[in-house]
Structure 1
Amino acid sequence: MPVLVWHAVSSAGPARCHQAACLIDDTLYVHGGLPSSLSSARPSNSLHSYKFALDEWTDLTSSRSPFLSHHTAVPYKKTHVLLIGGWNGKRRTSNVHTYDTVEKSWHETKRLEDFPPGAGLSSHTSTRLAADDAILVTGREGGLRTQRRSGGAFVVSERRRKFFYDDHSTSSTASRSGHTATPVGRDRVVLYGGRADNPIEYWTRVFVAAEYDVVDVSRFFEFFGKLRKDPGCRKYHVAVPGSSPEGIFVHGGETFDGRVKGATSDLIYIDFSDSGITWYTVNVNEAVRRAGHVGFVRKGAFYIFGGYDGSGKSCSDLLQLDCKRDKINGTPQSNT
């Protein structure tokens, strides 16, 4: 009988939560975050890489690496890690930092004059677009130090070797923090969570980068159970795109209704293939409680890394969602 598990790929990575990460040339780059636990006062400036082919972690931290948490990382021009915004231990920032994975060097763009004064970014999202390496940034355009929120959206692009923020928000843009923005198809981005109500927001005619990867949902559909209603909004979860049917996987996070204290282990699939929305719970053999972690798709497989567990402790494990079969007549069966 098949079972669905979170398979441990590696546990030797840095223990972090609210870090930023992205995949370039089959190497995972993990930057910053809060070490040890949620009570950590100062973000880390660490940079680590994990090469899947070698099963090897490398510490790339240098004195020029910025101290950040609650920021985002996206691959840029196939050779750079682009960091946007985040909390530096004293205030929110809109600064942009780039790490050259070939030269192994950092470059910083100072605070950009075209970003709203007195504001910064944290617990926001960054989604690569199809045009000219532009990035859609949504949510949490908050005060530099306060908890004030607003529903900002920007497009970050590079012109004349300088990065610019172009306002992309509308009057209907909802305020969100700790949410996700996930491509569904090639011209739609779905914002999920980050507030107690209005869990889902659609951005249509948003053309995303052509090379983003998706999970083949048909491999896991036998583990789906239909839900009668949405399971309630959450924050600090992860989400990745799926196809057949088209939608998004959502894992972990914290609930707003107090149903679960701290990080949850929920794995949900939201199906957008029909005219409405269909919610599914995904039955995993051994649940994993995580929030403030990162999620990504590699070669059609769903991975999560780091985050904090049910006790608020930062984790160092890299996990893959995997379908296995039990032993039959004493002989292990191959993965499906």
Structure 2
Amino acid sequence: MASPCCQWKWNPVAQNELFARAFHTCSAVRDKLYIFGGVRSGEPKDTPLGDMVMFDPEQESVESVSEESGFRRSHHDCVLLGDRCLCVAGGWDGSRRVSSVFSYDTVAGEWAMWAEGPTNNPPVGLSSHTCTRITDYELRVIGREGGLRTQRRYSSVYTLRVNTNTKTYWYKEEASRTASRSGHSAVLLPSETKQGKKAGYSLYVFGGRESSNIDTAGEWSKEKIQVSAVPCPRLTEQLSRLVSTEGAARWAPKSLRHQSCAVVGPFVVVYGGETLTKSRDAVCNDLYIYDTRTSPSCWFHFPGSERQRKRVGHRICLLNDRLYLVGGFGADGKTPCSEICILDIL
């Protein structure tokens, strides 16, 4: 039976100028959030940040664990390897798009520049791409690669092999490609066959173009991947109630880019971004939920009512059964937000 009333909002839990950035990354590591890089303004000539900031929700503390790493990046992506190593791939370094790889050891507090392997076939350059962990040795990179002046008309798909022990990496371009995308999202979910049965895992790509279509950018058997299921019973139950709200609109995100998404149990939660259909007031504050419990899976759309929560170039991150909203530009698309919020479903 549908729930007659269910509301949601973002509640601020911390504010600090160290959070004021956009097009950064945010990673959950051992009960803490690690925030790296990004930019403080929408000016294209501004140099990206190179600091690492740690937020401890339990202690309500903020710490700049590395004020200057020597690596400056925005529009990059980051994955956690082995529960301690934050691996950064690609991004904008202030002068060009790069495909290089470096890491930060959250235990030792050390940065390391990685070396190219002998068979490396790297992209020309990457920004606003996605990098998804398949295993601790294999990542899948999707992006509309290109140099300063040119970009491909499609999104290349790369396998990125990594070795945390030797600090080496090598790209291999896959034969498959996706539609041209930039500022998109990629999520690894159980595959769905035509009969509705789940078999293995697939990488689904959406957003970053004027379409609501979803591309598949790789499939793996259960034995070929390492999926870490994060327990989140409270948030899963709240999202279940929200999608069962009477009158919940079944509508997929369309013409949306630079949104942020997180997998919460059987749901994919998507928030914010900017719409490609508007030249003014393009920054969004809408919540989308992709429910994989049904066959076929379906989208639900929940419009936002708080203008001050509009975000683009932000991150949402799951940690200890809470979903955090970190940084990003606000409604004007150029002022960085210096707060962290948590999703509250009533």
TM-score range, shorter chain: 0.7 to 0.9
* Structure-to-structure mapping, 1:204-283, within 5 angstroms: 205-206=219-220, 208-213=225-230, 216=236, 217-223=239-245, 225-227=247-249, 229-243=251-265, 246-258=266-278, 261-282=281-302
Q: How many Å apart are 1:40 and its aligned residue?
A: 5.7
1:8 match: 12
- 1:127 corresponds in structure 2 to 132
Residue in structure 1 matched with residue 214 of structure 2 by the alignment: 200
SS in 2 for 1:195: coil
**Partner SS, residue 70 of structure 1:** coil
Q: How many angstroms does 1:166 deviate by?
A: 3.8
| 1:300 maps to 2:321 | yes
Q: Is the contact made by 1:4 and 1:285 (CA closer than 8 Å) also made in structure 2?
A: no
Identity of aligned residues (%): 27
Is 2:153 aligned against 1:146? no
Aligned partners of 2:318 and 2:123: how far apart in 1?
35
Name the aligned partner's letter for residue 15 of structure 2. S
**3-state secondary structure, aligned to 2:19:** coil
Gaps of 5+ in 1: 325-336
Correspondence for 1:182? 187
The one-letter amino acid paired with 1:193 is G
Q: Are 1:319 and 2:341 counterparts?
A: yes
Name the CA distance, whole Å, in 1 between partners of 2:286 and 2:71.
33
Partner Cα separation in structure 2 for residue 158 and residue 204 of structure 1: 18
Cα gap change, 1:234 to 1:285, in 2 (>3 Å): closer
Q: Which residue of 2 aligns with 1:68?
A: 73
Q: Which runs of 5+ in 2 are unaligned?
A: 191-199
Q: TM-score, normalised by structure 2?
A: 0.83
TM-score w.r.t. length of structure 1: 0.85
User: Structure 1: how far apart are the matches of 2:211 and 2:276?
Assistant: 9
* Distance in 2, Cα, partners of 1:113 & 1:120: 19
**Number of aligned positions between the proteins:** 320
Moved more, 269-278 or 119-128: 269-278
Paired with 2:58 and 2:243, the residues of 1 have a C-alpha distance of: 29
1:18 is matched with which residue? 23
Change (3 A) 1:78 1:284: same
